[in-house]
A and B are shown apart, each in its own frame.
Chain A
Amino acid sequence: MDINTLLADAKARFSHNSAKHYLREKYSSKLILADQGGLWKADKETISLLNSLDTEKVVLMDTFDNPVEVDRVELLSKLSTIYSETMKAWLKEAQELEGKR
């Protein structure tokens, strides 16, 4: 790399918009779980629905739009754990990037 390129690169500014986009790409994939014969996303809608129901077994539409009967508590537990861990990691990295200039 020549000196002019180095100088130009040194003036580069951190792109907060692109970083935000990158974090969304990175962490939304980590919210996906294959379990009990279906593919699930640990998002607030699925977790809220599982929380609001009270039967042992429930039938849910998975992300492929297939109805799947699942053990509600087991799936809720797994999705809640994934959601919590992923969002914490997302927040941590977002805070690290926020400080960049």
Chain B
Amino acid sequence: MTRGAILFAFNSLKYDYYAMAEHTAKRINHFLNMPVTLVTDEESLASDSGYKFDKVITVKADKDNIRDGMPWINKGRYQAYELSPYDETLLLDVDYVVNSDRLLKCFDLYEDFCCHDNTAFYMHPKVSQELLSSYSYKTLWATAVVFKKTERAKQIFECLKMVQENYAHYANIHQFISNVYRNDYALTLALRIVNGHTVLPGDIIPWNLLHIGKNTSVYANTDDEFNTEYTVLFDNWQKGKIRKEYITIKDTDFHVMNKDIYVELIKHG
């Protein structure tokens, strides 16, 4: 049974996602001891700095999705099932910092597909869970997904494709904004459709996805390539003044929502 990770990275005008993918791939190799396949396009390949992915697959980027006035190439994630060369695959966002071997546990506990349904924010302990809209489902997260090549997993990814192609329709039904395509929302709908409009407990990773969120930055505490200790700094606004607060974290994975912060992180370890 082969096991590996797959990353999708398409450079935008502002961000070098290829560099992010290289950074994440090195950490996957180091902490999870897994090969990494990259799905990218010819344009992004120009950013190659010499890191050897297990496999590089080039596809035509779907530049249809616009965020902040520029293309945000996050469509086509459904191809992970077909493109993955592994029997068991970890599909990860490139802005997820692998900082422990915790994701390996998913392979022990899942049936054939799992993702996060709960998140927590460092420095924001009381943030509520995101919903598609006020009257709709709790969002599932496409940030870290583990799947096996089974008929059911195939159906989930085929359904993901169907939801992507009919995103405006589902946005209309579930009352969320369709202008910007989000994989999290599409996955939420696809998994529920395949499961008969419910969520199976076995499809859920039984711990929270940890985000570095709003007003929060993160710094590596050393310049080591595989540094595991970070300082998380938070601007706590109280009565118009900022009170700076911090914590240190180690051996814990996290997802950086702000790409500028992630770019800085890549530069410094």
A interface residues, Cβ below 8 angstroms from B: 8-9, 11-15, 17-19, 21-22, 25-26, 28-30, 32, 34, 39, 63-65, 93, 97, 100
Chain B positions 248 through 264: 1 when the CB is less than 8 Å from some CB of chain A, otherwise 0 = 11111000000000000
Asked whether B108 lies within 8 Å of A14 as measured between CB atoms, the reply is: no
A64–B250 Cα distance when bound, in Å, is 29
Instruction: Choose from B202, B210, B247, B249 the contact partner of A14 (Cβ within 8 Å).
Output: B247
B interface residues, Cβ below 8 angstroms from A: 102, 105, 108-109, 120, 122-123, 125, 201-202, 206-208, 210, 232-234, 242-252
Instruction: Choose from A15, A22, A63 the contact partner of B206 (Cβ within 8 Å).
Output: A63
Asked whether B245 lies within 8 Å of A12 as measured between CB atoms, the reply is: yes
Asked whether B207 lies within 8 Å of A28 as measured between CB atoms, the reply is: yes
Q: In chain A, what residue has the closest Cβ to B244?
A: A12
Q: Which residues of A contact B125 (CB under 8 A)?
A: 17-18, 21
A21–B232 Cα distance when bound, in Å, is 13
Given A17-B125, A25-B207, A25-B210, A64 contacting B244 (CB threshold 8 A): no
Nearest-neighbour CB distance to chain A for B230, whole angstroms, equals 11
Nearest-neighbour CB distance to chain B for A92, whole angstroms, equals 12
Given A32-B206, A34-B108, A65 contacting B244 (CB threshold 8 A): no
A63–B252 Cα distance when bound, in Å, is 23
Q: Which residues of A contact B244 (CB under 8 A)?
A: 8-9, 11-13
Instruction: Choose from B122, B201, B242 the contact partner of A18 (Cβ within 8 Å).
Output: B122
Asked whether B247 lies within 8 Å of A19 as measured between CB atoms, the reply is: yes
